Structure 1
Amino acid sequence: MLQIPRSALILGLAGVIPFAWGALTLVSDPLASWGTGALGPRFVGPYVQLFYGSVILSFMSGVLWGFATKAQGGQAATGYALSVIPALWAFFMTGGGPVSAGMNLIFGFLGLLILDWQFWRWGLAPAWWMRLRGLLTALVVASLAVGVIL
């Protein structure tokens, strides 16, 4: 089955909303003002993108850990070791200001895509996994790029 299950696609796309919202509030002063007033300054611009991006990289570490539980022996050990990289990357690489943190999140999500591919190649992820992860990664990286460029 190569078609992405509807629920996974909808929830995955919903998970992109904070990244897209952050980008929109960077390019639209009226949205940024409304968001700051209604939601608070932490939920607009790069702030929402950077915090949420760290959370999602950590979440994806858990997803990869779950995939590693399907493996045996050395492959399982390798899978467990690889699965912690996104969370550690988020922890160590998202300081130093919004531009460098945004760039490091972009690199983190691109690196995660490589890990996704490896787990998929090993047969530990669903057949449709790379279709979903490619789409979501492209949207996340594009959103984060707005924060880095502006």
Structure 2
Amino acid sequence: MSGMDLPLTGGCLCGAVRFEVAAEPLVAFACCCTECQRASGSAFSMSVLVRKDAFRLVAGEPRRWLRPGPSGKPSAQYSCPTCSARTHAEPGYSDEVVSIRVGALDAARQIAPGAFFWLREAPAWFRPPKDVLAYETNPADLTPVGEAWRAAQAT
């Protein structure tokens, strides 16, 4: 997302919860797992990872709930207590990042995924774009995903 104005801003559907991000995202990805399909009501969900120290709530108090993450550690999920829109999460695999739902960002239209995860659970009709990385489950290492995403953003 080279050249995007910072801070990035976003929030829930009704506007009661708002946040800002002071640094560019580390990576953007789409997840086709069954849970993301249910949570989004679609074939996949999209997220960006940002440094936790760059994320800050500026309005509202989101509702927090815990769910087991793929790592087995609890993942804190946040949503608006009024409209129930999911905005972000603190994934159980890292204390250093926040995962933000791309649809919660005001600049969502400008963000394309660097990879698709959990294709083995994707709807039978879904095919990711040929020029985007694709994984049957979670990648063991996000480094190649971040590198590919940053390279695509620079073009």
TM-score interval w.r.t. the shorter chain?
Answer: under 0.3
TM-score calculated relative to the size of structure 2: 0.26
TM-score calculated relative to the size of structure 1: 0.27
Between Structure 1 and Structure 2, the one with more helix by share is: 1
RCO greater where, 1 or 2, for CA within 8 Å and sep 6 or more? 1
Radius of gyration: which is bigger? 1
Between Structure 1 and Structure 2, the one with more strand by share is: 2
